[in-house]
Amino acid sequence: MSQKTLVGQLRGATRLAVDATRGVTKLVETMHHTIASGPAVLGTPLEGVTKLLTAPTYGAVLGVTSAMGAGLDLALATLEPLLDRAGAERGALLAALNGVMGDYLAQTGNPLAIEMRLCSQGAALELTPEALSACVPEGTRLLVLVHGSSTDDAAWTRAGHDHGAALAVDRGLVPLYLRYNSGLHVSQNGRAFALLLERLVAAWPRPVEELVLLGHSRGGLVSRSACLVAEAEGHRWRSRLHALVTLGTPHHGAPLERGGHWGQALLGISRYSAPFAVLGKLRSAGITDLRYGNVLDAHWQGRDRFGHGGDPRGALHLPAGVDCYAVAGTRATALRDSLPGDGMVPVDSALGRHEDPARSLDFAQTHRWIALGTSHLNLLSSRHVYATLRDWL
């Protein structure tokens, strides 16, 4: 995200609150009409009367909400010269908000929507040779770390450890961190990331000899998507790509999103609970992509992402000529035939294994590794995971 003022972000929060109030008001109004109209077997003779009688009340609520939003926006404009940046907690809050409804924020032009940027030491980079020479270490072997859903680049520092900083010391890689709106479709972020990498390689002060992508969780899907875009469009950076590493990436989806999908469907069974099904549709495109692990536009375009249907993906492949590695976490402390996942992603999904051979990702057996007793987020801080990364790279 670019350096936007706190006032701009407060304005965005105001607009979001107004939109939420409108949405809840509409939900309550729908429930009111549904209940007042009587049982479905009797038809709905009272629904028209109910709407007529309650319309002024709900209209007044919506009108006051809009006026309040406009008034707050005007008040915030007068405070702009007086306010400075808030603390680090704001970044985590914005990242979580973007993960849940970042597509909506982007579509409505809300200032809270995160803009994709490459960062170093928490600061967004200007991709020009002069600016890069002034603020990043010298080197021709670049490591780009891609965070997961509802987080940002700060998530890579966990329990006093950062895989990127450690690999800079032990392997001489120059770590750069992607910051992006994780609520957008994976393929939308993948395309933007591919273009950003093309700009990075062109602007780097010295010829880039080697590029490594390290993605945690959803970041692995975004990285794979970027590779597919680069292959299709002939990007120069693709020929520099040496390795792709994924940590706890839901290559074939995550059960939590599937559970949310079916929970929404169950709400729609009854006419009395159906209005609440709209709440399930608040979750972002980035989250619904995690149902099966979508990485291409074709996996979601022309489809109702809240509708029913099977896995839309066809045959899948890893980038050719690249060393590809996958780490899976498991809560189990010893290897056995059936392992639980890391609390978010099943082991098979993280390792790219699928019951359909065409959809299995062909990670070499020596390039797959299971981190015992490691949760999804602790893949970022585990010293055993880091030792494996260091050996691979």
Rg (CA), the chain: 24
Mean pLDDT of all residues belonging to the chain: 81
Interval 158-169 mean pLDDT:
97
Both ends of the chain: CA-CA distance in Å? Answer: 30
Bridge partner list, 161? 158
Bridge partner list, 210? 141
- Provide the 8-state DSSP code for 333: S
Q: Residue 257: what pLDDT?
A: 57
pLDDT higher than 60, residue 130 = yes
- Cα–Cα nearest to 282, from 256, 294, 264: 264
Q: Per-residue DSSP letters for 341-391? A: -SSSS-HHHHTT--SSTTTS----GGGEEEETT--TGGGGT-HHHHHHHHH
- Cα–Cα nearest to 351, from 341, 339, 343, 363: 363
Q: Give the C-alpha separation, 166 to 163, whole Å.
A: 5
Q: Residue 105: what pLDDT?
A: 87
Q: Residue 236: what pLDDT?
A: 97
Interval 144-149 mean pLDDT:
97
Cβ neighbourhood burial of 6 (10 Å; 0-12, 13-18, 19+): middle
pLDDT higher than 70, residue 66 = no
pLDDT higher than 90, residue 263 = no
pLDDT higher than 60, residue 81 = no
Interval 338-348 mean pLDDT:
94
The dihedrals phi and psi of 118, each to the nearest 5 degrees, come to -90, 140
Tens of pLDDT along 268-319? 444 444 444 444 556 789 989 999 999 999 999 998 777 777 899 999 999 9
Q: Per-residue DSSP letters for 43-112? A: --TTHHHHHHHHHHHHHHHHHHHHHHHHHHHHHHHHHGGG-----THHHHHHHHHHHHHHHHHHHTT-TT
- Provide the 8-state DSSP code for 281: T
- Provide the 8-state DSSP code for 286: H
Q: Where are the domains of the chain?
A: 6-86, 117-253+313-392
Tens of pLDDT along 226-250? 999 999 999 999 999 999 999 999 9
Query: 117-253+313-392 adopts what CATH topology?
Result: Rossmann fold (3.40.50)
Interval 27-48 mean pLDDT:
46
| Residue at token pair 């051979």 | 357
Are residues 329 and 348 in contact, defined by beta-carbon separation less than 8 angstroms?
no
Q: Is the pTM of this model over 0.75?
A: yes
pLDDT higher than 70, residue 363 = yes
